[in-house]
Structure 1
Amino acid sequence: MAVTMSKLTMAPILFHWSAEDKLAFYHRIADAPVDDVYLGEVVCSKRAPFFEKHYDEVADALTKAGKQVVFSTLAEVMLKRERHMIAGFCALEDFPLEINDSAALWHLNDKSYRVGPLMNVYNEDTMAYLAARGAVHFSLPPELPRDSVAILAAKAKELGATTEVQVFGRLSLALSARCYHARAHGRIKDNCQFVCEQDPDGMPLNTLDNQEFLSVNGIQTLSHSYLNLIGELQDLQDMGVTHFRLSPHTVDMVAVAEIFRAVLDGETNAQDGRAQLDALDIPAPFVNGFWHGQAGHRMVGA
């Protein structure tokens, strides 16, 4: 097997899955060829109580399976309870922390942390500012084009930090103060009755002429299509990106991880890896347009 320093990571679950489904998912991921697993509610604080009591159990099982567990914070902090959630996560001592909102900086006191993709690190000055205040790892926004990723990967290396890029899964495009998911069902955010649980991969949003366009997840807008950078992995490795992020969906994520791991390690070429992903019947087209500086919904060089 080829020797590689590339780490494969499993992002936090963005959707409102039941506690039983999440437990089953992490039980399977314990046996998957991933290095880091992110836990935590990123999108909606109202969902958090459904799974909080299982964190210790899941973190212990993943750690025993050889995974590095990282806790991720909310990406939008607006309420008092959300500030308390952030403070609680920032007080963790046993696991690394990934922050997705600058509200966490108040509580960190120069403690080392990871920066999540929803923090919008778009330039070297932002990266240097955060690194000077404890950031040791940057998961870059998935809409960045190749040249920007190359510049930021080089800057991170100069700062002694590591970089991560999402390579699979629906792309997070926007967050809103309002919950479109609830509104689409005639409900308000404070009385949503957790309608988002009906859409475990997001609610489809079509155009007026019924073309598949976006996917809605509570307050989050996602792409309809799935990012797939398996053909760009070698380029990412060459420019110094160290971590490769898979975003969980209801598809066979263990199989997805095995395919990406094999390509990262040089055991399978990118063309064969792409064919294996195609065989999984992903319920949306693959895209890589942002990486190539084009519209995000495009697939370049398929």
Structure 2
Amino acid sequence: MQTTLGPLLYFWSKNDVFEFYEQVAESGFDRVCLGEVTCGKRRELKLADWLELAKRLQDKGKNVILSTMTLLESQSDYSQLKKVCGNEEFLVEANDMGAVQELSSRGLDFITGPSVNIYNAYTLKHLQKLGLKRWVMPVELSAEKLKAILAQAEALGIKEQLETEVFSYGYMPLAYSARCFTARVNKLNKDACEFTCLKTPEGIPLATQEGEKLFTINGIQTMSGQCMNLLDQWWMMEDMGVSSMRFSAHSKDVFTALDGLLTELDQEKPGSGIKIDDQCNGYWFGRTGLEMEQV
């Protein structure tokens, strides 16, 4: 089982980003996705900075992928997309169909992130013809649904041609909007947001009237209110043919979670995984996402 660190979804200062990836370089992650995927106004790092980080991580033996934006809202967003897709050095993860179109038109292989809606193997077969090499299952799908998709892929003769990755640890990206909720909370307009996301590096928690954590607001992105944790499901994923588990960082506790998983993988013995407060795994078991199924 391989491990992937997904793209950073929050807005951190340039210094904090570089410091974080210095630690990533020394970690046990096999694969690292880099780039701004949430909001085109977040420009602490330019493409040249991401490419510099990519080369540093590659020199440390990491397999590096550049990730594209999930919601394109302007011509400048599209121009940035074209630059990322045409980087000529690193494989690209497409997070919307515009990126798929751009990459396939260039004859390039690509990956799809969890925001690309793939719900059956017929979609996988179509994308595989366009250059898809690995896909990340949408976060809301269950283990049973994944089994069905992979069985269908095998029947279509494409299962062995594609790698499958599952979002396994982190706050789940659930929805995107043209509005910026973080700016609204701070009584600011989106076009004059003053980059207020920098003040909430782990997003803004949103609770129900009963005080239950429900969502996390991250600019234009709505995320889960609890951390998805499927680390104790690695053995099931391995049996199903999943090749990689994806981590998403909201703080440096992602390294503790990774170390716990790697220990279990080394021992080749399923355990309890890394447990943290306010976690969930409901989607994987076909239940509401915020539930926690005890295994």
TM over 0.5: yes
Contact 2:121/2:150, CA 8 A, preserved across alignment: no
- Deviation by residue 1:25-73 (Cα, 9 ceiling, x = unmatched): 1000111111100000000011135353422321121111110000000
Aligned residues, how many?
Answer: 289
TM-score, normalized by length of structure 1?
0.91
Cα distance in 1 for partners of 2:36, 2:150 equals 27
Pairwise CA distance, 1:269:
3.5
- Deviation by residue 1:164-199 (Cα, 9 ceiling, x = unmatched): 001101111111111111111111111111111111
Cα distance in 1 for partners of 2:143, 2:62 equals 29
- Deviation by residue 1:265-299 (Cα, 9 ceiling, x = unmatched): 4355322xx3xx33xxx4x4111100000011111
Cα distance in 1 for partners of 2:38, 2:181 equals 13
Report the equivalent of 1:30. 25
Pairwise CA distance, 1:207:
1.9
Cα distance in 1 for partners of 2:210, 2:261 equals 36
Moved more, 30-39 or 260-269: 260-269
Q: Confirm whether residue 139 of structure 1 aligns to residue 136 of structure 2.
A: yes
Cα distance in 1 for partners of 2:62, 2:129 equals 28
How much identity, in percent, do the aligned residues show? 33
Q: Confirm whether residue 290 of structure 1 aligns to residue 283 of structure 2.
A: yes
Alignment of 1:85-96 (within 5 A): 85-96=80-91
Q: 1:218 to 1:176 in 2, by over 3 A?
A: same
Report the equivalent of 1:119. 116
Q: 1:225 to 1:28 in 2, by over 3 A?
A: same
Report the equivalent of 1:178. 179
Report the equivalent of 2:260. 259
Report the equivalent of 2:45. 50
Cα distance in 2 for partners of 1:89, 1:54 equals 12
Contact 2:168/2:229, CA 8 A, preserved across alignment: yes
- Structure 2 spans left out of the alignment, 5+ residues: none
Q: 1:263 to 1:51 in 2, by over 3 A?
A: farther
Contact 2:93/2:110, CA 8 A, preserved across alignment: yes
Which amino acid counterpart does residue 298 of structure 1 have in structure 2?
E
Pairwise CA distance, 1:155:
4.8
Report the equivalent of 1:247. 248
Contact 1:73/1:100, CA 8 A, preserved across alignment: yes
Pairwise CA distance, 1:211:
2.8
Cα distance in 1 for partners of 2:166, 2:267 equals 19
Q: Confirm whether residue 168 of structure 1 aligns to residue 163 of structure 2.
A: no
Pairwise CA distance, 1:81:
0.4
Cα distance in 1 for partners of 2:152, 2:11 equals 36
Moved more, 123-132 or 238-247: 123-132
Q: 1:73 to 1:42 in 2, by over 3 A?
A: same
Moved more, 132-141 or 262-271: 262-271
Q: Confirm whether residue 64 of structure 1 aligns to residue 64 of structure 2.
A: no
Pairwise CA distance, 1:208:
2.9
Cα distance in 2 for partners of 1:191, 1:178 equals 12
Report the equivalent of 1:214. 215
Cα distance in 2 for partners of 1:155, 1:266 equals 32
Report the equivalent of 2:190. 189
Contact 2:14/2:44, CA 8 A, preserved across alignment: no
